[in-house]
Structures are given as structure tokens and as C-alpha cells.
């Protein structure tokens, strides 16, 4: 008998993957968590029925959260990741030698635990000496650490359940206050096909707080629609003013110095959402 999993990305559309085996299927204190092995994408982490990451395509998302902002800020010594318990963004952050400390704050310790066990290629750097891992509320952490971080990255689920407060204007204001005078942040902001209103709202809110706001995109096949957006807010540095020649070649599979500015060139219907 074949076993298939379908993520209902809208009430009328979904993505389906053939499952080889199920490792974990439990309700944590915060969400439904499943870890499965798929035939097409390898091991897959699911939260509340939504695909969070897979072994096959995870590098796109994690590289595109980390590298555009870290290659824009001239000296990102102290970096915070809110969410991201799978460890993929942390893995990319510590590829930057100038980073002295990377702090991960995820509300659900089970995500961290099972990612270490079933996604070691993603979570394998959580034990790095430059990394601090805290099982805590990222929203509260932001408000308790003023003027502390050079860069903040919000690696959240979609705006449901425990991640809902991470898409509110008050959270972005808290991020602004937790950043140093030249700080920057980036957040995943879903897809323009099914969540256009969300992209518009986040863009509007962030523009009321940060003087420089840029939206960029990437192709991630297991995320709704395959076209994903990220919103970057900066107090001082513009990613479009980075000299490509100054970006170091890194051990990446998606992001490159040439892609840095290209990622900010949006299809017109997406660009219109940012106006």
C-alpha cells in the first residue's frame, strides 16, 4: 500500500509527496510535529501539517535567509535567529568568520531535538562553540534584549499558531529596538500567489519603522507555489549598494555573489505588492 502526504496550501490546492516511513508524529506543547522520509525530497519536517524543510531543497531557504543580509552588513558580529529550530540558518550564519556569536531562540525544543536526530545535515552546527541555543519565546527575547544585535533573522512558520505574533507590527518595532544603530533584519514573508495580502501588510509595517526596506525572492519547490519572498529592513545599509566584487565566494548551492542583487529583481505582480 502506498502512503502519501498532502499539505493543503489553500482550501483548494495542495502539494503531495510519497512517504517511505514516519519517524515521529506527535503533538508538542505548541504544535503538531511530524518527521517523515519521502521518496522525492528525503527526510521532511512538518509542523501543523505544513512542510518546514526537506533534505533535498532546504539549502535554498537557509542560504537566502542568511547570506543576503550578512553580505550587506559590514561587520555582523552578533546575530539572532528567531525560530529556525532545524538549525539550517545557523549552519549558514557560521560560514561567515566575522560572526562571533549566533543566538538561536525557538519556542519548541522538540523541533531542535528531532532535527538533530533526523536532519543532521541541517542541524549539525547547533553544537558549534559560536552558537547559543535557547528554548524560549522569540517575541519575548526580542523585547528583553535592546540594542544588542547587529543582525536579526526571523525564521518562522506561516502566521498561524505560535508564529502568529511574529508577523505583527509590534514585533518589527521590537526588532528595531533590539538592533544596534546600524542593524538589519530579515524575515521570511511567504508567497505572492496565495498570501499577497500578508506581503503587502508586512511591507507596509516595516516601512513605517525602517528607513530601508527591500523584498527579494527565491524558488523553493516544497513551499506553497514554489515562489518565496523575504523582507529585509535596515537602519543604514542597502543590499542593492553592495559591490558584487566584495562578496566572498562561499560554500553554497543557491546563493552566489552574482545572485545577490538579482534576487531583488521581482516579477511585476510581486513588485506591485511592495509599492
Q: Is 155 a catalytic residue?
A: yes
Contact 220, 228 (CB under 8 A): yes
Size of the chain, expressed as the number of residues it contains? 275
Q: Which of 106, 155, 190, 205 is catalytic?
A: 155
Pick from 234, 99, 224, 254: which is nearest to 176 by CA?
234
Cα torsion 113, 116, 122, 127: sign: positive
Contact 213, 231 (CB under 8 A): yes
Q: What residues contact 41, with CB distance under 8 A and at least 6 apart?
A: 17, 54, 55, 56, 57, 222
Q: Show Cβ contacts of residue 202 under 8 Å, excluding neighbours closer than 6 positions.
A: 167, 172, 187, 189, 231
Residues with active-site annotation:
155
Amino acid at each position: 500500500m502506498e502512503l502519501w502526504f498532502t499539505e493543503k496550501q489553500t482550501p483548494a490546492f495542495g502539494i503531495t509527496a510519497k512517504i517511505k516511513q514516519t519517524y515521529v508524529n506527535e503533538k508538542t506543547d505548541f504544535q503538531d510535529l511530524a518527521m517523515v522520509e519521502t521518496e522525492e525530497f528525503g527526510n521532511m519536517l512538518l509542523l501543523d501539517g505544513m512542510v518546514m524543510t526537506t533534505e533535498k531543497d532546504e539549502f535554498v531557504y537557509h542560504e537566502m535567509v542568511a547570506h543576503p543580509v550578512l553580505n550587506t552588513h559590514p561587520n555582523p558580529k552578533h546575530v539572532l535567529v528567531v525560530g529556525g529550530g532545524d538549525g539550517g540558518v545557523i549552519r549558514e550564519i557560521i560560514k561567515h568568520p566575522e560572526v562571533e556569536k549566533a543566538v538561536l531562540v525557538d519556542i519548541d525544543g522538540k523541533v531542535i531535538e528531532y532535527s538533530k536526530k533526523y536532519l543532521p545535515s541541517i542541524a549539525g552546527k547547533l553544537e558549534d562553540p559560536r552558537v547559543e541555543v535557547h528554548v524560549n519565546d522569540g517575541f519575548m527575547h526580542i523585547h528583553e534584549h535592546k540594542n544588542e544585535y547587529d543582525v536579526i533573522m526571523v525564521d518562522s512558520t506561516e502566521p498561524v499558531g505560535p508564529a502568529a505574533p511574529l508577523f505583527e507590527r509590534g514585533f518589527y518595532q521590537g526588532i528595531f529596538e533590539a538592533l544596534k544603530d546600524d542593524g538589519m533584519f530579515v524575515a521570511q514573508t511567504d508567497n505572492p500567489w496565495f498570501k499577497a495580502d500578508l506581503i503587502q501588510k508586512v511591507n507596509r509595517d516595516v516601512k513605517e519603522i525602517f528607513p530601508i526596506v527591500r523584498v527579494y525572492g527565491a524558488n523553493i519547490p516544497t513551499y506553497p507555489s514554489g515562489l518565496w519572498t523575504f523582507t529585509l529592513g535596515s537602519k543604514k545599509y542597502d543590499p542593492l549598494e553592495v559591490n558584487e566584487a566584495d562578496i566572498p565566494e562561499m560554500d553554497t548551492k543557491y546563493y552566489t555573489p552574482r545572485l545577490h542583487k538579482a534576487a531583488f529583481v521581482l516579477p511585476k505582480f510581486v513588485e506591485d505588492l511592495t509599492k
